Chain A
Amino acid sequence: MSKRRKIRYFRFILPQFIGVLVFMIIPLGNVFRRSFTGMGNRLTLQNYRNVLENKSFKLALANNITFDLIGIAMIMVLSFVIAYLIYRRRNARLILVLMFPMAVPSNASAVVWNLLFRNTGMFKGFSGILFITFVYLWKYIGINVLLWCISLKNLSHEMIEAAALDGADRYDIIFKIMLPNLKKTAFILGILSFVNSFKIFREIYTLQGSYPDSHMYMIQHVFNNWFSALDISKLAAGSVLVILSVLMVSLLALLLTAEINQPVKEKKLFKTEKMAK
């Protein structure tokens, strides 16, 4: 039965899976192989050495890390605060307003940024990391707020009310009950924010082209420039390095958020409350 069941469902999966194999998994394997091949098909680590010693790669990596640390921390905290306020005030229309920037094409919003932030604009001098963090928050906070709101409303209501009856104040409820039960959401949002943070390239590219201000020079720029220079072996090694770091960050986030088993805790709290009554 189980085997037949497996085969039955493979028919649904197969068409898409072949596509994923052809466009993603097989070529990624190919890239991995290439990253270790040097002159005359010999196995070598020279490509990695070239990448790690490359000045523009180092600059871009430093920029990416600074931006990720500031941007992700800010978007997680701010979106939770907004979501909490929406949850308390029950004003879900605001989510729609916050979601809107995500739908605006980068080059359309870049027109506005250009008017505001260029040398003759209102906010000149406001550039570099601060500027891209601002654009990133503006653009991606909506989806984070939406997902926080969905999880907040799915929290057990009895639990929060019970805590309030026991005399827990607003901050106790947020830090000791809501947040520990929202670890899974925090994990998904952390990964999502990390993935979205790479897309800030679009605004920078539309505003400043392939060689922007040195504070906004991102890994995507380096890779694009290597690509135009047909520097395939460097690009392959660089891709593998970025893939590894993305996987490591995800694993770290998973470890940070995985240890609490939420349904069990919820039930226990509820039960003791009932018994006390």
Chain B
Amino acid sequence: MIKELIKLIFITPEYYVLFWNSMKVVFAIILGQVCFAVPCAWGLSQMKNKVGSVLFVLYIICMILPFQCTMLAQYMVINELHILDTHWSLILPLVFSTFPVFILYDTFYKLEDEMIEAARLDGAGEFQIFLHIGVPLAVKSIAASAALGFFEYWNMVEQPILFITTKTKMVLSEFVPFSNGRDQAAVAFAIMSIVPAVIIVASCRELIDYMGEDEIEKGNS
């Protein structure tokens, strides 16, 4: 068993390439989402008028559409932009996913208006308010949406099997591990691809404790 693990990590070049492809794609998506979705959620939640809520409903609709109804649409854009069969075809559509906006909207919406108004009266610019009041108060939600994003994109299968054809550009999650019928190698592969997930779950333990245990006890006492 351990022999198989060592063989997989150090000798199978396939695994190594796929692993780093996955890492690259997933972190690029999450970084992009943080850059674009956080300000967007801030803007939407602070508008507090009809335009804001209409846009938010539009975002929710975009969020609930499963990949199978948007695959043709995405394919046509990716084809237009000539990024088919590159990692950009996986990264770009997901950077503009509306899911993180949905998660962060609620957090920003609940912030007290007085605080923001006070900062504005003190002469803080809109961007300063966002950066120094909005972001620090939403760090936990941003981390939660990044963790959920990691689970989701580390797992993606539908997009890569359609958009990526070159073998060396494939990602770990579309790899079919048991084609040759060797069980031990398959199990070794499974163990290795769980590792990043375990690290992420372990690091958001604090988050879940915060959401679950502490507050349930607070509620019960």
Bound Cα distance A49, B13 (Å): 48
Per a CB cutoff under 8 Å, which of B68, B96, B178 touches A114?
Answer: B178
> Are A153 and B47 closer than 8 Å at their CB atoms?
no
Classify chain B's interface size.
Answer: 35 or more
- B37 at the A interface (CB under 8 A): yes
> Are B40 and A15 closer than 8 Å at their CB atoms?
yes
Those of B90-142 within 8 Å (CB) of chain A = 92-93, 95-96, 98, 101, 126, 130
Task: Fill in one digit per residue for B38-77: 1 if any A CB lies within 8 Å of its CB, else 0.
Answer: 0110111011010110010011011011111111111111
Q: How many residues of A contact B (CB 8 A)?
A: 78
A residues in contact with B187, CB < 8 Å: 111, 115
Chain A proximity of B183: nearest CB distance (Å): 7
B residues in contact with A232, CB < 8 Å: 72
In the complex, how many residue pairs between chain A and chain B have their CB atoms under 8 Å apart?
221
Bound Cα distance A20, B58 (Å): 10
Task: Fill in one digit per residue for B187-221: 1 if any A CB lies within 8 Å of its CB, else 0.
Answer: 10111011001101100010011011101111110
Per a CB cutoff under 8 Å, which of A19, A30, A224 touches B73?
Answer: A30
> Are B186 and A153 closer than 8 Å at their CB atoms?
no
Closest B residue, CB atoms, query A139: B155
User: Looking at the complex, which of A128-136, A163-171, A197-205 is the stretch in contact with chain B?
Assistant: A197-205
Closest B residue, CB atoms, query A202: B157
Bound Cα distance A86, B93 (Å): 38
B residues in contact with A157, CB < 8 Å: 219-220
Bound Cα distance A6, B49 (Å): 8
Per a CB cutoff under 8 Å, which of B58, B64, B74, B194 touches A250?
Answer: B64
A residues in contact with B67, CB < 8 Å: 198, 220
> Are B197 and A103 closer than 8 Å at their CB atoms?
yes
B residues in contact with A20, CB < 8 Å: 59, 62, 96, 98
Could you jot down 5 A-B contacts, CB within 8 Å? Answer: A12-B130, A17-B55, A153-B219, A198-B68, A201-B68
Partner-B contacts on A (CB < 8 A)? 2, 5-6, 8-13, 15-17, 19-20, 22-28, 30-31, 86-87, 90, 92-93, 95-96, 99-100, 102-112, 114-115, 146, 149-150, 152-155, 157, 191, 194-195, 198-199, 201-202, 205-206, 209, 219-220, 223-224, 227, 232, 235-236, 239-240, 242-243, 246-247, 250
